[in-house]
Structure 1
């Protein structure tokens, strides 16, 4: 594999790093924003969730734009929006500007969440699609860890503005890097020419035989004369779109974002100091990165559904153990047990549900509407994230901590049942094979 291939995938996944950073950084910043801009439980949730409102808008709009403008050009616009949002947060003088800055960042977050997995999936050869698709989740976890480290570095000076504003650095790197990235070959075949698609595939594929096979399958699917909107609203795609949306929703409401957003708050409630609480999140972030690296190497070797089921069992078990121990010996007496259980949750999530969603969503949807359908599913995902971000502080104040974790455990059980019954297996099949099988199973006809 040439170095240019690695650079394409790393730069392509850089939007995931920004998503992870902006998700993770708010957990530490919340501890200090109140010293300059007074917050209550509602406005605290609003600062967190305002980014998610922007993400809902961004993910909903980016899908059709990715299909119309191309994946590469859209990422360019997303990088500019990240820069504007980061600067706005750094200079925010009051709660209004702070929320506006988070909304702007959210537009870019939603756009990158919907666009980056599609880009990576369409650029990757079939046998590497899972590993390279997992790169997006790896970048997300690196972004979260980077945020935790930055939070810890600026904790002593209570530098929440620096925590939020430093997202401008990777944003500028993404803006510069996107200039050198190629467009997705599947988009080029649809909107430019076969030769343009071949030129890009020569960078990421090992030989002409693989390219010829992929081009042939892409041509067969492309010959079906349907518009993006016609595919999105077609009865044959509707069940898959619903499954994709529910899959995305479950990934966010099983409890991961309660941990990412509010881990320092949880640790503080358990009796740890502010600096120690932030340091604890650095440990969790490190574990998240390490297990996602493991996922890169196993996701193409084990069926996606088996990994998801294993992850569900592990996450639910760790939440139940934590809840029972808090109930029996108290939260302040079980601070280190909480750290261990949260770490176990992260291990199971990071190897399974974290990366596999971003691999499978683009795999499940047809070429003609892949960007738009992934955008719709990502929109639902952000709604789930918004619900968790807004309700967790309220639930944590209204209920005892163990009951909050038990609620997430029950959601995990429902997610397990959903995976077993409804989710299709996609490992080891080309995107065109998956689409062709979907059309056959649902009775869709070529036009």
Structure 2
């Protein structure tokens, strides 16, 4: 098998699913300001239009992991890219709210699949020394997609052309579909299928011949340990449980600390504190630029600083920004000072999120599960993440109506404190370890606990 594409392009096209994910996250925030008037949305139907994609995301995340374990990473990403193109076109041409919601669900199937498969594909393609950076490239692409969406929103804001805002997603969708045709399959998946010559060819190409035999030996050792195992029965085993708890906890906390609420409803939040529609969308462009710059920094430092320290630093910064945001808005109400405080605090919040919980959660979800159930494990993490996302985004418009913006931000700040405690107690560092070593460590920890337990009984 010969490849006419260099490593950089393999990683770029591999991460392009993140751009689709990001564009759709960002575009609805600006389009919503105009869809509300055209389709006469209430606060409830507004929440359904935003969150309908998340129903699809949960289904896509749930089925794509197991599908990729069976059919391969590449084939399922190609299917997801095709579905994304259909969904993008359908939302742009939707004649009414019902059709818009239907195609948002279809779009969600692709976005949910991408959220599971892209970090997994990148982590399996990457060498250990830069795996964190390459896996977090997915988050950089997500943030780039969000920024692109904010810019497109601003371009069409003057005319209120929300259909063009939504339809523009077709372009990155087609780019990913075409790009993935030229990418290799994951060598780890190929080895699991017994296709060693093909896996060796790909690894030799990707690593320029360095350390390939050792990497293959490690993968085969992990596969040997997993022989006659796999599937949902394996997920329930005691030695996998710490990874499952860490994965589910990270996935839930990433949402309930308010990240996607800030992204989905940023323009609405700005208009609530006194900014006009165009100014509100322009404010989100500024936030998007901060997002991309800080995520790029995270890509550079994640393999040096480590995953866990970044999560803890992020929690501290995000919670502080949310507490300031909530208190200032409670004391000053709609005013110029409150408007600027909102812009600054949201920018600070996004900066800390982009440095930590944005990239790190998806990197860790792609690392912590054993190879034979990595697809299923990533699927569980992604489904949990999308479910938490759905609950938060569906309830946010109604909660803001009921309790006010200040109370909501303070609640999210408290969730950040709880997330800090969870990371401190339940999350293990994975920096500098091969995927196979992380798996072996999991097994050894389980054996160590079992030994200690039997010793305590004997005493």
User: Normalising by the residue count of structure 2, what TM-score does the alignment of the two structures yield?
Assistant: 0.95
Q: Deviations over 1:240-262 (max 9, x none)?
A: 21220111111111111111000
Kindly state the Cα deviation for residue 324 of structure 1 after the two structures are TM-superposed: 1.6
Instruction: Tell me what 2:457 maps to.
Output: none
Kindly state the Cα deviation for residue 38 of structure 1 after the two structures are TM-superposed: 1.2
Q: Does 1:374 align with 2:378?
A: yes
What does 1:275-294 correspond to in 2, within 5 Å?
A: 275-294=278-297
Kindly state the Cα deviation for residue 228 of structure 1 after the two structures are TM-superposed: 2.4
Instruction: Tell me what 2:175 maps to.
Output: 173
- CA distance, structure 2, for counterparts of residue 16 and residue 103 of structure 1: 18
- 1:4–1:203 CA contact under 8 A, matched in 2: no
Q: Deviations over 1:34-53 (max 9, x none)?
A: 23211001100000110001
Q: Please, which of 91, 95, 98 is the counterpart of residue 96 of structure 1?
A: 98
- CA distance, structure 2, for counterparts of residue 28 and residue 430 of structure 1: 41
Instruction: Tell me what 2:133 maps to.
Output: 131
Q: Does 1:222 align with 2:223?
A: yes
SS in 1 for 2:305: coil
Q: Please, which of 383, 403, 406 is the counterpart of residue 410 of structure 2?
A: 406
Deviates more, 1:97-106 or 1:232-241: 232-241
Instruction: Tell me what 1:186 maps to.
Output: 188
What does 1:5-404 correspond to in 2, within 5 Å?
A: 5-208=7-210, 210-224=211-225, 225-229=227-231, 230-333=233-336, 334-404=338-408
- 1:226–1:368 CA contact under 8 A, matched in 2: no
- CA distance, structure 1, for counterparts of residue 430 and residue 90 of structure 2: 41
Aligned residues: 443
Instruction: Tell me what 2:437 maps to.
Output: 433
Q: Deviations over 1:280-310 (max 9, x none)?
A: 0011011100000001110000121111111
Give the gaps of 5 or more residues in structure 2. Answer: 451-459
SS in 1 for 2:283: helix
- 1:86–1:167 CA contact under 8 A, matched in 2: yes
Instruction: Tell me what 1:423 maps to.
Output: 427
- CA distance, structure 1, for counterparts of residue 351 and residue 208 of structure 2: 33
Aligned-residue CA RMSD (Å): 1.3
- CA distance, structure 2, for counterparts of residue 269 and residue 222 of structure 1: 54
- CA distance, structure 2, for counterparts of residue 346 and residue 239 of structure 1: 29
- CA distance, structure 1, for counterparts of residue 446 and residue 19 of structure 2: 37
Deviates more, 1:36-45 or 1:223-232: 223-232
- CA distance, structure 2, for counterparts of residue 162 and residue 191 of structure 1: 44
Kindly state the Cα deviation for residue 192 of structure 1 after the two structures are TM-superposed: 4.1
Q: Deviations over 1:87-145 (max 9, x none)?
A: 11011001110000100000001100001000000000000001001100000000000
Deviates more, 1:231-240 or 1:46-55: 231-240
Q: Deviations over 1:205-240 (max 9, x none)?
A: 2433x1111111111111131332142232321232
- CA distance, structure 1, for counterparts of residue 317 and residue 228 of structure 2: 43
- 1:121–1:363 CA contact under 8 A, matched in 2: yes
- CA distance, structure 1, for counterparts of residue 301 and residue 146 of structure 2: 22
Give the gaps of 5 or more residues in structure 1. Answer: none
Q: Deviations over 1:159-182 (max 9, x none)?
A: 111111111101101110111000
Deviates more, 1:326-335 or 1:21-30: 326-335
- CA distance, structure 2, for counterparts of residue 163 and residue 411 of structure 1: 33
- CA distance, structure 2, for counterparts of residue 332 and residue 26 of structure 1: 26
- CA distance, structure 2, for counterparts of residue 343 and residue 226 of structure 1: 49
Q: Please, which of 437, 442, 446 is the counterpart of residue 446 of structure 2?
A: 442
- CA distance, structure 2, for counterparts of residue 368 and residue 124 of structure 1: 18
Kindly state the Cα deviation for residue 330 of structure 1 after the two structures are TM-superposed: 1.9
SS in 2 for 1:52: helix
Kindly state the Cα deviation for residue 61 of structure 1 after the two structures are TM-superposed: 0.5
- 1:365–1:373 CA contact under 8 A, matched in 2: yes
